[in-house]
Amino acid sequence: MIKRWFYNWLGRHKNRVNFALHMIGIPATIAAIPALIFHRWGLAIGLFIGGYVLQFIGHAVEGNRSGEEEFLRKLFNKQ
């Protein structure tokens, strides 16, 4: 299951710019968690939003939808 998810993820991140933006954006988003734990609210918000913005820009460059958008479209049955 993880292998299938990973290959699906790689298939949606073929563009080098998109991939690079995700390699910055994903760790930034995850780094928001310790910032929250240590009550660094401004830093946590900046990392989380900034990380997601980089990833959404990457998908715009790639010309496809983010996983979150795909999930929401399936949830609300909108293609």
Cα of 8 vs its chain's centroid, Å: 14
pLDDT tens-digit profile of 11-40? Answer: 999 999 999 999 999 999 999 999 999 999
pLDDT value of position 77:
86
The domain ranges of the chain are 2-75
pLDDT mean over 67-79:
86
Residue 61 DSSP one-character state: H
Q: At what angle do helices 41-62 and 16-37 cross, to 10 degrees?
A: 160
Please tell me the distance from the alpha carbon of residue 72 to that of residue 9, in angstroms, as a whole number: 17
pTM here?
A: 0.85
The rounded distance, in Å, linking the Cα atoms of 58 and 45 is 20
